[in-house]
Amino acid sequence: MSKAMWGGRFSKSTDEMINEFQASINFDKRMYHEDIRGSIAHARMLAKCGILTEEDRDKIVKGLEDIEQQIEDGKFDFSVDLEDIHMNIEKRLTEAIGEAGGRLHTARSRNDQVALDTHMYIRRQVTEVQKEIENLQQALVETAEKYSDVIMPGYTHLQRAQPILFAHHLLAYFSMLSRDFARFEGVYRRADIMPLGAGALAGTTFPIDRAYVASQLHFEQIYGNSLDAVSDRDYIMEFLSAASILMVHLSRLSEETILWCSREFHFIELDDAHCTGSSMMPQKKNPDVSELVRGKTGRVIGHLMAMLTTVKGLPLAYNKDLQEDKEGIFDAIDTVKFSLAVYAQLIRGMKVRREVMKKAVTEDFSNATDLADYLVKKGMPFRKAHAVSGAAVHQCIEQGKYLEDMSLKEFQVLSPLFESDIKEAIRPETCVKNRNSYGGTSYEQVSLQLKAAKELLASEKGMAEAAREKQI
């Protein structure tokens, strides 16, 4: 007969290699807190419903709390032979308190138990990811304020397009992160559904009180279908989707950071603490943090693809395939949290070369649109104004100069509508100031964006703190 805790119907033990192959304890042990808290709530519910004596309940609760302390003190030896976090804890509990430990599993299955643990774990991790998002957003706001008057070239197609405020550029990433924060709010809601009580797949014959367990564990909702409860992994796929989009945002920021700190751009300098050198070339200062974040983005996206592929062909209800949800989500969580944390440091530590950026916008043709707009305001149709501006650019290229170098006489040859105020109209500072439409790059609009960003940060912190207070 098998010695496994589920081995009653087996005539021999599982092959040792199979034990190692199917065991999840090496990665799911990080959910020990959720497993123990879920078991304590389950034991209290069983006693409340008269399924378990109060004496057994108290022994179980005390035993589980002792085990949790042992794990946190590093005094708990996990066994691959016991497969997972649930069996490891239950075995130790039974050894410690006797038969009462064996009664804990009444009216539940590992199918709904692991689902419960994972729901609780994802809820907690969502709040931690959101905290790191807030930290990076705060770093972006601080840096945008610090360099609020710096003008840089804005790009399309990686070609200089129009002058913008550097703060405006940073706040674009703030907005992306705000959407990421909101996406994780949705993940939290889908994780905030309690599956315990679904049993293996069909519920239980015992008169349990699922609402009581949900209140003990601070769940807002309870699964209304037992099959769905044990097989649902939507919230994990949603987490991985939100994490992938977040990492794509960080990857885009990484690409720009890598470009900006190159000698070709030289717009910023990263702190020495956030870079590495070369073992051969002594002059090198490599933006490794940005490169690693850009690279790790593919890793997180890969976990999303793996999870989608794992679930796509599964029949209801629980299948062992679902064990494959853990390693990917755990790694994605670690990767996202670490990437956000290091990027907040990098943003706070970088120096902006304002004079280099200023020179860049005075030595290009990013004010050509403003030249056209000037003529439109004088009554010329935009398409004609566009052509005149294009001709001015062509003339400057031919003569090796820029629009600001043209004389009034040269402008008036192209159009009599040009007057002496044209030079002021195409200065980078004027170009920026005049883009005062809502959400634009003007000093006034960016000031409003900074104010709105601070208000949104305060709101996000309030929501995240409320969610964190619910964790047990």
Annotated active-site residue 218? The verdict is no
Determine the Cα–Cα distance for residues 189 and 235; give it in Å rounded to an integer.
9
Helix 325-349 / helix 288-311 crossing angle, nearest 10 deg: 160
Which of the following is catalytic: 79, 215, 278, 459? 278
Annotated active-site residue 442? The verdict is no
Which of the following is catalytic: 157, 279, 420, 437? 157
Counting Cβ atoms within 10 Å, is residue 424 exposed (0-12), middle (13-18) or buried (19+)?
exposed
Active-site amino acid positions: 157, 278
